[in-house]
Chain A
Amino acid sequence: MFSRAYKIIVTVPPVLWVAVFLLLPYLLMFCYSFWSVSPAQTIVHSWNIGNYKELLLKSVYWETLLRSMFIAARVTLFSLLLGYPLAYFLSFHAGPRKDLLYQLVIIPLWVSYLVRAYAWKTILGSDGVLNTLLQYAHLTNHPLDFLLYSPFAVVLTLTHIYTPFAFLPIYAALEHIPRNLVEASHDLGANPARTFWRVIFPLSIPGVVAGATFAFVLSLGDFLAPLLLGGPSGIMISNIVVSLFGAAYNWPLGAAISLGMLLIVVSLLFLSERLEKKWSFS
């Protein structure tokens, strides 16, 4: 029903923009990763795989990547452990307050990342709220210094930030389960636990996969929480990239690491799309 001209007018501008401001920059990142830096600190535009060799050979990159993935995995696990039962509660047991409670989960999702990361910094510091509270209550007589500037602080903060992200798709999946399936299971004599594990949980798996992907991918690439709260032991792979683009001035090497991250992320997104399709019920 829409003319060719109409379709061209709505299609061409966004496609061109996306090609210039998204596709081209990603391709440039790819090019950069094969370039190098001269001793005079200029970028040499000749092609070689030196950056990738360095990444493969130097253990610091591997160790940091593994540590980042381990942090992201913990964040994902905790976000699911917090988000899934909450989503289940809201979807099946919240009654008339469902809408309000849902809104209460959404709000922190869109409220400033920085505000929330900063809040944790004021709580966990050695003169922070938690330490002074513990001393006030005589539970400890010296500040606990493992709270801030540690992987613990990073995992805690990122879990706080990404739990609503994990919650959303799980809740959506639970809401889409036809309630008569649940009733049928009850009527056929299954107890609630059996109904949950045999009917509800399998149908919510696409939501769990999507939520886990959001939490893992976003926390894997985070560099602000580690800078603010991580200390030397909480450094993540993106922090190395930031320093390569800053003081260490080696953009090509930084681009190679970023490209590696992009590949990990895109393959996870692809995998999760596959899994969601496989498990989705229709």
Chain B
Amino acid sequence: MSTGAGQGSRPRWLLLHAAAVFAFLYLPIAVLILYSFNRQGVGGFPPRHLTLDWYRLLFADAAIWDSVFNSLQVAFAAMAISLALGIPAGLALDRAQFPGKSLFRRLVLLPLILPGIITGLSLLMMFNLSGTRLGLLTIVLGHGTALISVATTEVFAGLQKLDRAQEEASLDLGASYWQTFWRITLPNLKLPIIGAALLIFTLSMDEIAVSFFLIGRDNTLPLEIWGRLRRGITPEINAISSIIFFFSLIAIVLWYRLRIRAQGSAELGTELLDISEADA
């Protein structure tokens, strides 16, 4: 910018800055993975005596695997809820007018922008007053509700790209709304829906702020890790964290590919604005 370079040539400080930011974003994760192989413990430079012992310990750790199983159950159930409500919500925002629409849109998106503690506590108060016992079910309801926003934004963005003429033709040719939905609308939304499902699943597996307040006796994986962190840290936690990182990485790269195919671009941050301007 101030180096007098024209467009196309890269001012050197920008390049250095970008490299530094990437280092800042990735170095901690690299350190975490490296030390999961360190016999001496989580600190100590340089890392010495690389070992797989911590992974062996991890694979024999029944409490961790119980919590992984709990988290998987929660994530699948939350995904089902978020999609079952988020897809119609996207359709409603795109094509229906109803009183309170703008309030509804804001409420759906709120958990994505609001600190998790507020969503978690407000649900806790409701479950408490209604006498619902806390457990995996309450976490499912919390995640399912908070992540409707993900399905809604992805579906809404997909609908904006959808060619209405196809649906019109289907209806004109005598198909019912139900047939048109299953044969035209839904297949056209396939990629955004798969993308949303993947993202909801990953976010639910990782979620901790809402679950923190809705937990009963059974831990989810992040809460199991959290509990251990308070007692002291061992490279076993590095090992499970590295595995989580690896799986998140796969899910996110897949989601990204799907999104590029579905939307032509993966730009996030715009559809939040798109939805808020939809009824303007």
Q: Which residues of A are at the interface with B, using a C-beta cutoff of 8 A?
A: 1-3, 5-7, 9-11, 13-15, 17-18, 21-26, 28-29, 32, 82-83, 85-86, 88-90, 92-93, 99, 101-108, 110-116, 118-123, 125, 127-129, 131-133, 135-136, 160, 163-164, 168-169, 171-172, 175-176, 182-183, 186, 191-193, 196, 206-207, 210-211, 213-214, 217-218, 220-224, 228, 238, 241-242, 245, 251, 254-255, 258, 261-262, 265, 269, 273, 276
Contacts A25-B125, A93-B10, A168-B268 given; 18 further ones with Cβ under 8 A?
A2-B177, A10-B91, A10-B92, A85-B17, A86-B18, A89-B14, A93-B11, A118-B32, A118-B233, A129-B42, A172-B268, A175-B265, A191-B4, A193-B4, A210-B273, A221-B118, A222-B115, A265-B113
Whether A111 pairs with B249 at a CB distance below 8 angstroms is yes
Q: Can you report 9 A-B residue pairs in the complex whose CB atoms are below 8 A from each other? A: A23-B107, A89-B15, A93-B8, A110-B252, A128-B42, A192-B5, A210-B273, A224-B208, A269-B113
List the 10 closest pairs (A to B, CB-CB), nearest first. A221-B115, A25-B122, A14-B89, A169-B269, A168-B269, A119-B28, A7-B96, A132-B45, A133-B45, A10-B88
Identify which of B51-59, B60-68, B221-229 touches chain A: B221-229
Known: A18-B108, A108-B26, A220-B115. A122 touches B202 (CB 8 A): no
Q: A14–B252 contact, CB under 8 A?
A: no
With A122-B43, A224-B208, A262-B118 as contacts: A28 and B126 at CB distance below 8 Å: yes
Q: Specify which of B1, B32, B96 is in contact with A192 (CB 8 Å cutoff).
A: B1
Once A and B bind, how many residue pairs between them come within 8 Å at the CB atom? 298
Chain A interface, >50% SS class: helix
Q: Is the CB of B17 within 8 A of A112?
A: no
Q: Given A6, A106, A112, A218, which contacts B266 in the complex, CB threshold below 8 Å?
A: A106
Task: Report Cα–Cα, A199/B86, bound state, in Å.
Answer: 38
Verify if B117 is at the interface (C-beta below 8 Å from A). yes
Closest A residue to B115 using CB positions: A221
- Tell me if B244 is interfacial: C-beta within 8 Å of chain A: yes
Assuming the contacts A114-B222, A114-B225, asked whether A85 and B129 have C-beta atoms less than 8 A apart, the reply is: no
Give the residues in chain B near A101, CB-CB below 8 Å: 18
Interface residue total, chain B, C-beta cutoff 8 A: 104
Residue numbers of B with Cβ under 8 A of A are 1-8, 10-11, 14-15, 17-18, 21-22, 24-26, 28-29, 31-32, 35, 41-46, 84-86, 88-89, 91-92, 95-96, 98, 100, 104, 107-108, 110-111, 113-119, 121-126, 129, 141, 145, 148, 152, 164, 167-168, 171, 177, 199, 202-203, 206, 208-209, 212-213, 222, 225-226, 229, 233, 237-238, 241, 244-245, 248-249, 251-253, 255-256, 260, 265-270, 272-273, 276
A7 / chain B contacts, CB cutoff of 8 Å: 92, 95-96, 98
